Amino acid sequence: MFTDLHLHTNFSDGTYTPEKLASEAQRFGLVAVALTDHDTVEGCTRMRAACEANRIEFIPASELTAEINGIELHMLGYFLDVENPRLLQEMHRFQEGRTERIKEIVSRLRQLNIPLQEEDVFGIAQCKSPGRPHVARALIQRKVCANLDEAFERFLKKNRPGWVPKEKIPAQDALKLIHEAGGLAVLAHPGLARSEEAIPALIEAGLDGIECFHSRHSPASSEFYVNIAEENNLLVTGGSDCHGMNKGKPLIGSIKLPYEYVRLLKERLPSEHFARQSHPISVLNNGNDLV
C-alpha cells in the first residue's frame, strides 16, 4: 500500500489534468495521493472526484512559498479545508502576485528584445497560479529556447535577466494559515534549499512534519531528515513532486511512500477535521473554466 503526497496539475505548473493524474496514480497502484498545487486548492474538487472514480484516497493540499530569516522554503499544507475563507483569500493574494510577476518577467525579457507577449504565457498557463515553467514553455513555443532547462539557465533562474522574486508568506503566517484551515504543515523538500537551519524556528512556530522522501533527495539526505523528524516528534511525508511532462519524464511512481505515514498524519489531525469530513464539499468553482 503506497502513496505519493506531492503532485502538481495544470491548476498550477503541472501539465496533467486532475483526471490524468488520478489515472496515472491508479496505474502505479497508489492507494492515496495528495494534490499540492502551488498557491491554490482549486484543482482539489476535480481531483477528489477523479480519485473517487479510481478508488484512490484523496488528500486536499497545497504548496505555499514561504520565508523565514531570509531563507526561502516551501510549506505543504495537508488535509486543508478547501473552503476556508482566510485560506482562499490569502491564496487569491498570492495568485495576483504571481500574475503581476509574470508580467514583470515578460517585460524584462522584452527589454532584451525577446519576442514574448504576456498572452503567450497566460495562454499556456490557463490557470490562476502561473509560474516560471509557463514562461519557459512560452519561450520554447517562440523558439527562443530548446527546452525548460535552457530557459531556466539563460533567463529564469535567480540572478538571470528574467528573474523576478516571488512574493513569500512569512513561514509563521503560513503555519497559522494552514492550521486555521484545519491542516497539517509540512516542510517541503528541505534537501533542495538546505532549509534545515530553519527547522528549529519552524518547530517553535508549530511545524507538524518534514517531507523526508522526495524525488530529488538522496537516500542519505532522506535518512538525515527522518532522523531530524524522529528527534523532534515530527511527522514524516514524501512525494515525487511530479509536474507531469514538464521535466521530460513524469516523476509520479518514483516515490512510493508506505500508507502507514498517511495513517500517522490522520492521527495527528484535529478532531474538527472529521466533523468537517462528514459534510459533502460543495463545488468551489464551475470546474470548467480551466483546462
Piece of the chain touching Zn ion by CB under 5 A; list 6-14, 111-119, 163-171, 281-289:
6-14
| Partner touching 132 among Fe ion, Zn ion, ligand AMP, none, CB below 5 to 8 Å by kind | ligand AMP
| Partner touching 213 among Zn ion, Fe ion, ligand AMP, none, CB below 5 to 8 Å by kind | none
Beta strands in the chain (DSSP E): 2-4, 30-35, 57-68, 71-78, 169-170, 184-187, 209-214, 235-239, 257-258
Contact mark string toward Fe ion, 238..267, x via CB under 5 A: ---x--------------------------
| Partner touching 74 among ligand AMP, Fe ion, Zn ion, none, CB below 5 to 8 Å by kind | Fe ion
13 interacts with Zn ion by CB under 5 A: yes
132 interacts with Fe ion by CB under 5 A: no
Coil/strand/helix, residue 84:
coil
Which of 147, 100, 95, 139 shows the shortest CA–CA distance to 120? Answer: 139
Residue 3 Cβ vs Fe ion, minimum distance, rounded to whole Å: 16
Cβ(4)–Cβ(24) under 8 Å?
no
Residue 199 Cβ vs ligand AMP, minimum distance, rounded to whole Å: 22
Residue 139 Cβ vs ligand AMP, minimum distance, rounded to whole Å: 12
**Of the candidates 46, 48, 74, 168, which one interacts with Fe ion according to CB under 5 A?**
74
Name the residue number minimizing CB distance to ligand AMP. 131
Measure the CA–CA gap between 195 and 104, rounded to whole angstroms. Answer: 28
Piece of the chain touching Fe ion by CB under 5 A; list 58-66, 95-103, 172-180, 249-257:
58-66
Contact mark string toward Fe ion, 14..43, x via CB under 5 A: ------------------------------
37 interacts with Zn ion by CB under 5 A: no
State the angle between helix axes of 171-180 and 85-111 in degrees (0 to 180), rounded to the nearest 10: 140
Residue 6 Cβ vs Fe ion, minimum distance, rounded to whole Å: 6
Element (H, E) at 171: helix 171-180
Residue 148 Cβ vs ligand AMP, minimum distance, rounded to whole Å: 4
CA distances from 177 to 171, 230, 279 (A): 10, 25, 22
Piece of the chain touching Fe ion by CB under 5 A; list 62-70, 89-97, 130-138, 153-161:
62-70
The residues of the shown chain that bind ligand AMP, judged by CB under 6 A, are 13, 38, 131-133, 148-149, 152, 166, 247
Measure the CA–CA gap between 58 and 92, rounded to whole angstroms. Answer: 23
Pairing of strands 184-187, 71-78: antiparallel
Neighbours of 24 (CB within 10 A): 20
CA distances from 37 to 103, 113, 232 (A): 21, 32, 27
Measure the CA–CA gap between 286 and 161, rounded to whole angstroms. Answer: 38
Residue 149 Cβ vs ligand AMP, minimum distance, rounded to whole Å: 5
Provide the H-helix boundaries in 160-213.
Answer: 171-180, 190-193, 199-204
Summarize as ranges the residues that interact with Fe ion (CB under 5 A).
Answer: 63, 74, 188, 241
Binding-site ranges for Zn ion (CB under 5 A): 13
